């Protein structure tokens, strides 16, 4: 399952960077702060963008002033809650050596509770709120400002923690590497770990942000711990989410989990057949679900079906095109009156009409900067668990944004997925804030690289 090969011999040239003393640590200087800047500032700008767009979209969506006030109050009230949750996530203990038992118990407790709620929505009458053909919302009567909770958004955090733990435990032995100076060699070679190299016949890939490992349990045991168990963890919530007829969120879970499996060294001979089987399952699922099938038909011919199945998609595309380069101005947008979900799923269309190509380009740039800031520091991860937490959290945010923008631009069928930090949605806002806090938590921990004597990669699973 997990691949390793002998690290290159240590360089003997005079150009080799100095090796820190055992137990020492090396600071990464300005690069650390630049990456934190790229993570925090785009998130703040996206939140500001969302507040501005929400006022326009919700106000023009209906002439009811009470509805506009309700949307504003909800989003503004929970911004403070989101900030508190982000701060808590940013200081959570993520060191398995010191807090392994607590992390494991809490992760499995959250995962069990989340899956129980997902199952309850499917099985208990009256527990779920059905809307647009989906039963993804937990209905809570009598709770002000939070009468609807999308459980699949909350499950992201527990799912990420448990999958990261399972992938960490599948790495039974860690080998310190002696990287030679060069384009692929990190600074301070000798106290880092050589990048994982996934080798296939005739070609190979280098991942400078993943550490090389050697499986201690070859054969069927390695298959079970490195592939079967992670797939089981992935399949449980995904099946429950599919039962809610939330195909878009289920695909998001699979994409994030598949990326984590891939960079953790799972063989392509297992991943490719599994992916093909999943694609066939999606086609069968869409064929059996009339609502999903109607969305596919509308996606194929949005102009011909603009008065019926493709009305939402067609109006969204029209809004994007009518904005031009600079936009018509947020005070002049008219598409929110024609888009039923202009404040949630199709908020990107409102941005395109009001701000034009410059506005939509800025939103894309913010997400790109966020992911770039994370990716630039992943190679400094102290252990596989923290690497998976950080990488998975960044993927959940950026892939969800990518799916939303692809839906609005007509590249994929409508899925009903929000744009993180921008769309209206309390549960989406809170879960995105927690994921961002986990990213900041990891990046802050990686501001210094452990020395040889204090390397967190040594030893087996904690």
pLDDT tens digits for 375-409? 988 888 888 899 999 999 999 999 999 999 998 88
Q: How confident is the model at residue 234 (pLDDT cuts 50, 70, 90)?
A: very high
For residue 301, what pLDDT is reported? 76
Mean of per-residue pLDDT scores for the chain:
75
Pairing status of strand 134-139 against strand 148-150: antiparallel
| Strand, coil or helix: 167 | helix
For residue 141, what pLDDT is reported? 67
Over residues 197-220, the mean pLDDT reads: 42
| Residue 205 counted as domain residue | no
| Residue 321 counted as domain residue | yes
d(CA 150, CA 135): 9
d(CA 36, CA 311): 41
| Residue 226 counted as domain residue | yes
| Residue 14 counted as domain residue | no
**Cα angle value 80/84/85 (rounded, 5°):** 115
Over residues 229-239, the mean pLDDT reads: 92
| Residue 15 counted as domain residue | no
For residue 323, what pLDDT is reported? 84
Within 10 Å of residue 29's Cβ, how many Cβ atoms?
A: 10
For residue 113, what pLDDT is reported? 93
For residue 358, what pLDDT is reported? 92
d(CA 110, CA 311): 40
d(CA 423, CA 145): 16
For residue 36, what pLDDT is reported? 86
pLDDT digits (tens, 9 = 90+) for 53-97: 877 655 555 544 455 566 667 777 888 899 999 999 999 999 888
* Tokens found for residue 345: 């799923």
| Residue 12 counted as domain residue | no
Q: Please indicate whether residue 197 or residue 279 has the higher confidence score (pLDDT).
A: 279
Does pLDDT of 213 surpass 50?
no
Domain that holds residue 51: 28-172+215-447
For residue 180, what pLDDT is reported? 29
- Whether the full predicted model's pTM is greater than 0.85, yes or no, is no
| Residue 112 counted as domain residue | yes
Sign of the torsion angle spanned by Cα atoms 357, 362, 363, 364:
positive
d(CA 350, CA 359): 10
Highest-scoring range by mean pLDDT, 62-66, 129-133, 282-286, 363-367: 363-367
d(CA 446, CA 380): 6
| Strand, coil or helix: 198 | strand
- Helix residue spans in 201-267 (DSSP H): 220-223, 229-243, 247-263
d(CA 383, CA 100): 13
Domain count, the chain: 1
Within the chain, what is the greatest distance between any pair of CA atoms?
74
Does pLDDT of 22 surpass 60?
no
Q: Which residues contact 136 (CB under 8 A, 6 or more apart)?
A: 121, 128, 150, 151, 152, 241, 244, 245, 246, 249
Question: Which range has the worst mean pLDDT, 9-13, 80-84, 152-156, 194-198?
Answer: 194-198
Question: Which range has the worst mean pLDDT, 105-119, 186-200, 347-361?
Answer: 186-200
| Residue 198 counted as domain residue | no
């Amino acid at each position: 399952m997990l691949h390793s090969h002998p690290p290159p011999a240590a360089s003997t040239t005079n150009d080799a960077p100095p090796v820190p003393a055992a137990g020492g640590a090396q600071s990464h200087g300005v690069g650390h702060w630049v990456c934190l800047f790229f993570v925090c500032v785009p998130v703040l700008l996206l939140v500001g963008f969302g507040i501005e767009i929400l006022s326009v979209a919700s106000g023009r969506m209906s002439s009811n002033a009470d509805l506009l006030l309700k949307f504003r109050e909800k989003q503004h009230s929970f911004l403070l809650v989101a900030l508190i949750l982000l701060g808590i996530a940013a200081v959570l203990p993520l060191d398995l050596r010191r807090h392994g038992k607590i992390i494991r118990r809490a992760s499995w407790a959250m995962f069990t509770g989340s899956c129980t709620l997902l199952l309850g929505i499917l099985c208990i009458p009256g527990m779920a709120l059905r809307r647009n053909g989906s039963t993804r919302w937990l209905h809570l009567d009598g709770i002000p400002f939070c009468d609807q909770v999308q459980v699949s958004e909350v499950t992201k955090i527990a799912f990420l923690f448990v999958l990261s733990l399972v992938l960490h435990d599948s790495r039974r032995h860690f080998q310190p590497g002696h990287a030679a100076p060069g384009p692929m060699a990190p600074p301070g070679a000798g106290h880092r770990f050589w990048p994982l190299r996934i080798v296939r016949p005739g070609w190979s890939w280098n991942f400078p942000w993943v550490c090389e490992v050697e499986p201690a349990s070859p054969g069927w045991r390695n298959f079970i711990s490195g592939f079967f168990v992670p797939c089981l963890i992935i399949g449980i919530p995904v099946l429950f989410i599919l039962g809610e007829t939330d195909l878009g969120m289920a695909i998001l879970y699979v994409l994030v989990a598949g990326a984590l499996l891939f960079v953790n060294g799972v063989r392509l001979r297992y991943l490719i057949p599994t992916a093909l089987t999943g694609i066939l399952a999606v086609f069968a699922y869409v064929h059996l679900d009339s609502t999903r099938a109607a969305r596919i038909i509308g996606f194929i011919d949005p102009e011909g079906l603009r008065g019926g199945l493709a009305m939402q998609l067609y109006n969204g595309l029209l809004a994007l095109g009518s904005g031009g380069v600079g936009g018509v101005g947020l005070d002049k947008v008219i598409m929110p009156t024609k888009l039923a979900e202009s404040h949630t799923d199709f908020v990107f269309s409102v941005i395109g009409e009001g701000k034009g190509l410059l506005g939509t380009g800025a939103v894309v740039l913010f997400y790109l900067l966020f992911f770039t800031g994370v990716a630039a520091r992943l190679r400094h991860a102290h252990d596989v668990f923290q690497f998976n937490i950080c990488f998975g959290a960044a993927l959940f945010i950026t892939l969800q944004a990518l799916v939303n923008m692809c839906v609005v631009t007509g590249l994929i069928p409508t899925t009903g997925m929000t744009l993180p930090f921008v769309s209206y949605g309390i549960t989406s806002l809170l879960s995105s804030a927690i994921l961002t806090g986990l990213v900041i938590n990891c990046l802050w921990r990686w501001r210094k690289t452990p020395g040889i004597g204090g390397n967190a990669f040594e030893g087996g699973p904690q």
